[in-house]
Structure 1
């Protein structure tokens, strides 16, 4: 039996319905949820990029340290001291991270309390005061990126 080459014809095109010109109606709650999801995805993307960068830099540094360690005879005491220093630095970083998380949670609680007060407000003057407080708090909230430290022992 002999194989024969055949030329396939063009793929059939399937008609696609036209896009709806009317804007999509989404509730405010759904918009807020979508914003939060988009923001958390962006944060995850930033963290992953940072971790990847640090991992790549760390692997280069680790290769260099392996070369220097094999070239030089490091004593057991020096290695033990390095390990203790690394443990201390990791403990300090963990404490800093816990403090930052607590501060951020406290700020978030204040922010949510003000939002709840804004929703419950009846008269215009109280509404104005709450909006001013809210703007002040919004400026105080940390807006810089979170950075995770990778520590090698």
Structure 2
């Protein structure tokens, strides 16, 4: 048997735009997707940097992480105080929201009332004009047999 040599053809080439071609136009959706990918890559980079920093400073952190019972009690009191402060601020914001809604409803009522008054005035003016025209018009009298 003889071995035959075969020549391999050229590799398929992808068409490449000429160097002087216009820049590639990317849709808004594609731009948004690229932005999201870039942002997530940036976030991963930040997380990795933070993780590396924590690893390098790990020995110092371990010493700080040991806390006494009194420290924990103090931190619980601080957390409880923060929770109460947040609840108070939430209540205040809810009251402000209710006041704003009431003010908005009052403004809508007054605007509607103003619009109704303007419409009423227009109707009264039309009625007056029609009343003035009535005496001038000739009335047709029809005899109706019963």
Normalised to the residue count of structure 1, the TM-score between the two structures is 0.29
CA distance in 2, matches of 1:149, 1:67: 108
Bigger relative CO (Cα 8 Å, ≥ 6 apart): 1
Please give the per-residue CA displacement for 1:24-72, whole angstroms capped at 9, x wherever unaligned.
Answer: 1111110100000000100110111011101110045559999999999
Larger Rg, first or second structure (1 or 2): 2
Distance 1:92-1:32 versus aligned 2 partners, 3 A rule? same
Moved over 2 A (4+): 1-21, 59-110, 119-153
Structure 1 position 88, deviation (Å): 26
Deviates more, 1:31-40 or 1:13-22: 13-22
Structure 1 position 19, deviation (Å): 3.5
Structure 2 regions of 5+ residues with no counterpart?
none
| Residue 93 (structure 2) pairs with residue 93 (structure 1) | yes
Deviates more, 1:65-74 or 1:36-45: 65-74
**RMSD value, Cα:** 26.8
Structure 1 position 23, deviation (Å): 1.1
CA distance in 1, matches of 2:99, 2:66: 35
Deviates more, 1:8-17 or 1:59-68: 8-17
Distance 1:125-1:83 versus aligned 2 partners, 3 A rule? closer
Structure 1 position 22, deviation (Å): 1.1
Structure 1 regions of 5+ residues with no counterpart?
111-118
CA distance in 1, matches of 2:143, 2:54: 7
**How many pairs align?**
145
Match of 1:150 in 2: 143
- Three-state SS of the structure 2 residue aligned to 1:144 is coil
